[in-house]
Structure 1
Amino acid sequence: MFSANDFIPAPYSQNVEQGNFQWSAPSNIALVKYWGKKDNQIPANPSVSFTLNNCKTITKLAFAKKEKQDIFSFDLFFEGKPKEDFKPKIQKFLERIEIYLPFLKDYHFTIDTENTFPHSSGIASSASGMAALAMNLMSLEKELNPEMTEEYFYQKASFLARLGSGSACRSVKGEVVVWGNQANINDSSDLYGVEFPYTIHENFKNYQDTILLVDKGEKQVSSTVGHDLMHDHPFAERRFAQAHENLDKLISIFESGNLEEFIKVVESEALTLHAMMMTSMPYFILMKPNTLQIINAIWKFRNDTKVPICFTLDAGANVHILYPENVSETVLQFIQQELVDFCQNGQYLCDSLGIGAMQL
């Protein structure tokens, strides 16, 4: 296991004047939710997520040495156009990680990024975006320090991504990723995500996630504000304990392939996340009427057909429908016949388990 100090590098052995890299990094969907954090993006409870395959950010990083090395210098483009309103978030990220990447002020960076999913689709792009940027910066560090091991490369990338967006650390490597200290999970850490280290049953291979786009508008409460409201939340401590309990349950569920128990944990986690929002002070509701319509339709369909589908939610109105690959045809037919009317402009995205970031 690495500590934060392990990620502060010794002087580099190589000199690199200019170049570019390109990485893609996926979004992820948490099964056990992270809600509430301490200083420096440390989670108040552990989480585990499925890595997605199709919903991803592709980021190209070009860099060139500059003479004045007193400030961070970068241009940011989103889908080919300057993206000034996102620059403060990148600036803050660079300030946070400078101690771990001391070369950052030596270069002028051009960051060119795009998503494979529709912009403002209500899918969290901060996780995929920060993971993709972290991978590119680590590629530059590896040029400066070619002796770096692969394990160190990926763990430090996850560590850096976390400092940009907490859940981004789960988008670096692995199909099922754990973030946060959990007694029964080897090498789990609050500092970065790790691949789930135990047996995963065939039932979960190539698991499907169809994302119903209920509301593509901007959330009225940001995730950052929501996390902060857990500090004085009356139910916070019990919630944090529940997350540990549910993660323990998933260890045996993943091994046995018990879809019935999987559904109970995943849906309970989704509803608990939103219960925390509804019982904070100030309180807020991110679900929409159509979110509830979809949930009720899923429950009825599952009850009537015994098809093992379930829902989960992020901090928003959209619904992720999770199901095994072998029932895909039946589930997609159900979505098209009964759920598509609840989606904004009839939009939904089909995704499945992925493996993490990839260099392009």
Structure 2
Amino acid sequence: MYSDSDFILSNYNSIETASFSWSAPSNIALVKYWGKKENGDQIPANPSISFTLKNCKTITTVVVSSKVEKDTFSFDLLFEGQPKEDFKPKIQKFFERIETYCPYLKDYHFTIDTQNTFPHSSGIASSASGMAALAMNIMSLEKAIQPEISSDYFYAKASFLARLGSGSACRSIIGNVVAWGKNETIKNSSDLFGVEFVNIHSNFQNFQDTILLVDKGEKQVSSTVGHNLMHNHPFASQRFDQAHDNIAKIVSLLETGNVTEFMSLVESEALTLHAMMMTSMPYFILMKPNTLEIINRIWKFRNETQTPICFTLDAGANVHVLYPENVKEKVLQFIQDELVGYCQNGQYICDEIGNGAQNLK
């Protein structure tokens, strides 16, 4: 088990120039992370567990070159090949947060070229995939200047760094199912980085996630603000206890392959997340009328056909439709017949469980 001090690199070599390229996917939480510990550095108030996605990902290439002046961070940022100045403050803040652990950052000029496989402004959060992909590239640089680091250390520190950029990004590094947050159920679980959960029943292999794009606009309340509103939330302590209980429950369901109870727990978690938003002060609602229409039609379809299909939600209006691969044709026909009309411009994205970040070079 690594502590944060284990990730402080002290001895390393130097290189003149190098190029790295990684993809990293988004993920969808099954047990939700909502709330951060006060005075912590992106430390979750409760544990979470997620499916890693496969197709919705960020592809990032980083070219580094050594520089003489080593007193400031130096980087250029391109998004889909074009300069993206409004992204630069987030990268600057990320470098500042991780400098203690990556003291070599000021030794190099970084050219960061990034793109998403999913439509820009589609309503799918790209912070998790984006920060995970950047963290993997930084760790490739670290491996180049300190070749002795182990594979286990490489991925654990990548998750640790990604977390400092965007909390849920730590769940996009490695594995089909990833847990983040210290809890009694999952061995070696940590608040500092995500850990792969491997004992998954065959019923959940190749599980599908079709993302219905209900609202592609900017959220009225950001996730950062929403997390902070949990500090004085009247139901915060009960919610955090519930999350620990639900981690234990969902781990058992993932191991035994009980899809029916899995669906109930996942839907309950999604609605609880939005209940926390609606009962904070100030309160807010991120679901849209079409979100509720989709949920009700999913329930009706499931009851009438006994098809194993459920929904989950992130901190927004879009609906993730989860189902086993063996009912894919039936579910996609249902989406075409009954749900696509509730999607903005009829848009949806077909995805499935993936394995995490991929080295492209």
TM-score category, normalised to shorter length: over 0.9
Partner amino acid for 1:15? S
Aligned runs of 1:207-356 on 2, under 5 Å?
207-356=207-356
1:194 alignment partner in structure 2: 195
1:68 alignment partner in structure 2: 69
Deviation of the 1:229 alpha carbon: 0.1
Aligned runs of 1:37-52 on 2, under 5 Å?
37-38=36-37, 39-52=40-53
Deviation of the 1:9 alpha carbon: 1.2
Partner amino acid for 1:87? K
Partner amino acid for 1:50? F
Deviation of the 1:19 alpha carbon: 1.2
- 8 Å Cα contact 2:185/2:247 also seen in 1: no
Would you say how many aligned residue pairs link Structure 1 and Structure 2? 358
- Give structure 1 regions of 4+ aligned residues with deviation exceeding 6 angstroms: none
TM-score (norm: length of structure 1): 0.99
C-alpha distance in 1 between matches for 2:205 and 2:185: 23
Deviation of the 1:269 alpha carbon: 0.3
For structure 1, the 5+ residue unaligned runs are none
Deviation of the 1:15 alpha carbon: 1.9
1:80 alignment partner in structure 2: 81
C-alpha distance in 2 between matches for 1:239 and 1:139: 38
2:17 alignment partner in structure 1: 18
C-alpha distance in 2 between matches for 1:35 and 1:102: 31
C-alpha distance in 1 between matches for 2:315 and 2:261: 23
Deviation of the 1:140 alpha carbon: 0.3
C-alpha distance in 2 between matches for 1:251 and 1:171: 19
Deviations 1:3-31 (A, max 9, x none): 0000001211x321111100000000000
Partner amino acid for 2:183? Q
- 8 Å Cα contact 2:22/2:357 also seen in 1: yes
C-alpha distance in 2 between matches for 1:255 and 1:108: 46
C-alpha distance in 2 between matches for 1:141 and 1:266: 38
TM-score (norm: length of structure 2): 0.99
SS at match of 1:43: coil
1:178 alignment partner in structure 2: 179
Partner amino acid for 2:162? A
C-alpha distance in 2 between matches for 1:160 and 1:29: 19
CA RMSD of aligned residues (A): 0.6
SS at match of 1:308: coil
SS at match of 1:226: helix
